Structure 1
Amino acid sequence: MAPVGGGPRPGGGGVLAVLYSFPFALGSPGIGFTAWNQANELVRAGVDVHIVAGSVEKPIEGAASVRTTLTVRGRRVPHRAIGRDRAMRIHDVVTAGLVGRLLDGGADDVVHAWPLASARTLRAARRRGIPGVREVPNTHTAHAYEVVAREYASLGLEPRRGESHTVNARRLATEESEYAAAAGMLVPSEAVAVSFLDRGFDDSRLLRHRYGCTVAAPPARDSGGPFTGVFLGRGSPRKGLHTALQAWTASTAAATGRFLVYGLLDEDYAALLAPLLAHPSVEVRGVTSEPMRVLASADVLLLPTVEEGSALVTYEAQVAGCVPLVSTAAGAVIDEGVTGFTHDVGDVGTLTAQLDLLIARPDALAMMSRAAMARADELSWAAAIQATLAAYREAARLVRGSSHAAA
């Protein structure tokens, strides 16, 4: 375990103290980016943040302390070098031992833990009467397994072995033990909340918060070109690219517009979609390192995802003025019909009609684009962390209530 910087905790004054546990590389692409932004905004909000991460790819200035559990002499130890299960266990054991050292059990202390390495840590928090909350970046894992497997089967494809959304009984058991150990689950969308309610969870334990995006001056919007739709994400059945392509090619947009597909395409899935991908209006662009530029060049984002937590690209699209046309499973924070449109999972007809409407009504498209950009501050990480802080307070209320009941 490698401690880095920090110094003693600023005491007193009702300053909220958070032990933030993330077992992967903090600041790396994907969930590492989400975790980094959360922790960074907590620090900026005046919170006393103790970070315990597998490793740190992007430092956070001002954290009360930083410890890494999967580094040796400053070098990251890859999970594959010791096995992911062992790496997660090491992180959880080390973090659980730090709960009592980094937090004094005061009324404003919280443990915020991420999946796969938090059951011991959350139980340690519970023993000390500290609210322990568990991040839920996707739907209930059993739900995710079911709907993703069903989508693969409907397409005649086999789920990819080793993928995070392919059935894994051991992983499910790990996550269910974390659900049980947490005082509450941080759910970023109603789609996530419903997946837990459907499995009998008490709504009071589902703590609503949300994610955000980096708000900076977006690239200038590309006006004057053809009507442009964009798909930006992993090209897999889970993300619903097949639904997007079916709707696009059935719409009037396909006659004069263009649909740009960005992201890594699974080989078997791409082969299945080959006739749709070969449509003259469709362009497969591969992976991009400039998502905001891509979104600023497009009129609409198509994300008919089958299962999701709360896709960050839906936040970024609005900031860039790209109108989201997304499934209800995408967890998008939009004002229906004002800053974007939703459709039920797999509803090609509704998505097609939305495309037809916007290509026929450029005035409506322009109005929605402006409305989306106007709410950029509401979609920022700084705004999002206020919802997370409110969730912490609710978790503390739950713990106090259960303590009183036990007494």
Structure 2
Amino acid sequence: MSPPVRVLYSFPHKLGGGRICTTAWHQVDGASRAGAKVTVIVGSQVKALNEGVRVKKTLAVGKLRVPYRLIGRDVACNWHDTVTAMWLNANHREIDVVHGWPLSSLKTIRAAKKHGIPVVLERPNAHTGFAYEEVAKENQNVGIELPGNHDHLFNQKRLDLEETEYREADYLLCPSDFVARTFRERGYEDAKLVRHQYGFDGSRFKAPGNEGTPHDGLVMIYAGVVEPRKGLHHALKAWLASGAQEHGTFMVCGEFIPGYAELLQPMLSHPSVKVMGHRTDLPDLMRQSDLFVLSSVEEGSALVTYEARGSGCVLLVSDASGAVCEHMQNGLIHPSRDVAALTEHIRMLDVDRGLLSKLRGSSTSDLDKLTWDEAGRKLVDVYREVHKRKVA
């Protein structure tokens, strides 16, 4: 039996927090339980890991944590990268593979190269240049400006740093075919683009059963940060044009960025639309829903689409959502910004409940392939493969 692959996992943020911090926690926990020997260097940590993981912190001492808002994200990420590179230089004989995150890995990548250690760089979103362009276009179409601290507000310095990281990392970990495509279109070779996946927590998100929940009208749900790049305006237009709004319900869950709700108010005020704000009961709301909609113009592989499938929702998603589903097999996929296609998809499922049942059955039949446990096993396979290539 071969020895476990030894991984340095570098994450500059709050491990176990929300969004990408959730992704990182599950990756570390899942890879460790799948057989990797993981050392994780993090900015700080809010959720415990299994005992097999060695944890070091760059922005915390005991229970004291340096707030990002105090020193700024760029400074925090640079400090994290510096400390991680120093640790790697001193302990390189203990590591087979380095797994880094954007904006905090360049020095670590260079330290790894010096010692002949392969580096995989996480790509939680599309190529950042592509994302900047698409988000700016969508905001202009809607007529809104992003807040000054928004991650998708154009920043040349950050873009330059990320593109340098892209070039110098050995591999880019792409959680969806869409992400890989945005890099391929910008000249990156297939050999550099490695597919992996994210997952959902099956202990929280559970489908209601094969029969689903019977409704007189369709129940559709949107959940997440509510901003133009997520395409809620497209989803609302499609819903209100589909006919489903006559007897159905569209639940909108999440916090709006400033100004967006005001622009959408004529559609949000329709009696079939329920604006529900930030929710802590998403698993329950998803179990009550027939459909989950995400009409994004760019994503990585939205965790909420995994969670919706795990809860029994049929996905209605754009081809830029990074969702794991197949059109007309276990979900419906429309071209990004194509409101007419999304309208037809909603109308089709409202009229043909047999098709809805068929898609739901197919969607829930292989959920074991979409769990975080499975994502951890696939990630360890990636680690072993890139280490083997380097050794060979």
TM-score normalised by L of structure 1: 0.92
Could you say if the C-alpha distance between residues 36 and 48 of structure 1 is closer, same or farther in structure 2, counting changes exceeding 3 Å?
same
Residues 312 and 364 in structure 2, CA contact (< 8 A), matched pair in contact too: yes
1:189 to 167, 172, 176: 176
1:143 Cα deviation from its structure 2 partner: 0.5
1:105 Cα deviation from its structure 2 partner: 6.4
Task: Look up the match of 2:293.
Answer: 302
1:370 correspondence with 2:361: yes
1:156 Cα deviation from its structure 2 partner: 2.0
4+ residue segments displaced more than 6 Å: none
* SS class of match (2:126): coil
5+ unaligned residues in a row in structure 1: which ranges? 1-11, 402-407
Distance in 1 between residues matched to 2:326 and 2:140, nearest whole Å: 33
Task: Look up the match of 2:278.
Answer: 287
Deviation larger for 33-42 or 259-268: 259-268
1:392 Cα deviation from its structure 2 partner: 2.4
Distance in 2 between residues matched to 1:150 and 1:335, nearest whole Å: 27
Deviation larger for 158-167 or 137-146: 158-167
1:71 correspondence with 2:60: yes
2:10 to 17, 21, 28: 21
Task: Look up the match of 1:405.
Answer: none
Distance in 2 between residues matched to 1:195 and 1:387, nearest whole Å: 22
Task: Look up the match of 2:381.
Answer: 390
1:71 Cα deviation from its structure 2 partner: 0.6
* SS class of match (1:261): strand
Superposed, 1:293-332 pairs within 5 Å as: 293-332=284-323
Task: Look up the match of 1:95.
Answer: 84
* SS class of match (2:299): coil
1:256 Cα deviation from its structure 2 partner: 0.8
Residues 318 and 339 in structure 1, CA contact (< 8 A), matched pair in contact too: no
* SS class of match (1:174): helix
1:138 Cα deviation from its structure 2 partner: 0.1
Deviation larger for 59-68 or 322-331: 59-68
Superposed, 1:211-250 pairs within 5 Å as: 211-216=198-203, 218=206, 220=208, 222-224=213-215, 226-250=217-241
Distance in 1 between residues matched to 2:382 and 2:215, nearest whole Å: 44
1:103 Cα deviation from its structure 2 partner: 3.9
What letter is aligned with 2:290? D
What letter is aligned with 2:6? A
* SS class of match (2:285): helix
What letter is aligned with 2:35? G
Residues 183 and 398 in structure 1, CA contact (< 8 A), matched pair in contact too: no
Deviation larger for 44-53 or 379-388: 379-388
1:223 Cα deviation from its structure 2 partner: 2.8
Residues 115 and 135 in structure 1, CA contact (< 8 A), matched pair in contact too: yes
Deviation per residue, 1:265-306 (Å, 9 max, x gap): 123111111111111111100011122111111100110011
1:13 Cα deviation from its structure 2 partner: 4.6
Task: Look up the match of 2:162.
Answer: 175
1:203 correspondence with 2:203: no
Distance in 2 between residues matched to 1:13 and 1:397, nearest whole Å: 11
Distance in 1 between residues matched to 2:107 and 2:354, nearest whole Å: 55
Task: Look up the match of 1:49.
Answer: 38
* SS class of match (2:317): strand
1:360 correspondence with 2:351: yes
* SS class of match (1:329): coil
* SS class of match (1:67): strand
Deviation larger for 206-215 or 370-379: 370-379
Task: Look up the match of 1:264.
Answer: 255
Task: Look up the match of 1:123.
Answer: 110
Distance in 2 between residues matched to 1:71 and 1:358, nearest whole Å: 50
Deviation larger for 142-151 or 158-167: 158-167
Distance in 1 between residues matched to 2:286 and 2:149, nearest whole Å: 31
1:398 Cα deviation from its structure 2 partner: 5.2
Report the number of matched residues: 388
What letter is aligned with 1:164? D
Residues 319 and 375 in structure 1, CA contact (< 8 A), matched pair in contact too: no
Could you say if the C-alpha distance between residues 113 and 343 of structure 1 is closer, same or farther in structure 2, counting changes exceeding 3 Å?
same
Task: Look up the match of 1:345.
Answer: 336
1:225 Cα deviation from its structure 2 partner: 5.2
Distance in 1 between residues matched to 2:278 and 2:146, nearest whole Å: 22
Structure with larger RCO (C-alpha < 8 A, sep 6+):
2
Task: Look up the match of 1:404.
Answer: none
Residues 232 and 295 in structure 2, CA contact (< 8 A), matched pair in contact too: yes
* SS class of match (1:230): strand
1:85 Cα deviation from its structure 2 partner: 1.8
* SS class of match (2:125): coil
1:158 correspondence with 2:149: no
Distance in 2 between residues matched to 1:23 and 1:204, nearest whole Å: 27
1:224 Cα deviation from its structure 2 partner: 3.6
Could you say if the C-alpha distance between residues 185 and 277 of structure 1 is closer, same or farther in structure 2, counting changes exceeding 3 Å?
same
Distance in 2 between residues matched to 1:338 and 1:41, nearest whole Å: 28
Deviation per residue, 1:111-142 (Å, 9 max, x gap): 00111111001111111111111100000111
Residues 5 and 384 in structure 2, CA contact (< 8 A), matched pair in contact too: no
Distance in 1 between residues matched to 2:75 and 2:145, nearest whole Å: 28
Could you say if the C-alpha distance between residues 64 and 311 of structure 1 is closer, same or farther in structure 2, counting changes exceeding 3 Å?
closer
1:400 Cα deviation from its structure 2 partner: 5.0
Distance in 2 between residues matched to 1:52 and 1:63, nearest whole Å: 14
1:370 Cα deviation from its structure 2 partner: 2.1
* SS class of match (1:29): coil
What fraction of aligned residue pairs are identical, expressed as a percent? 41
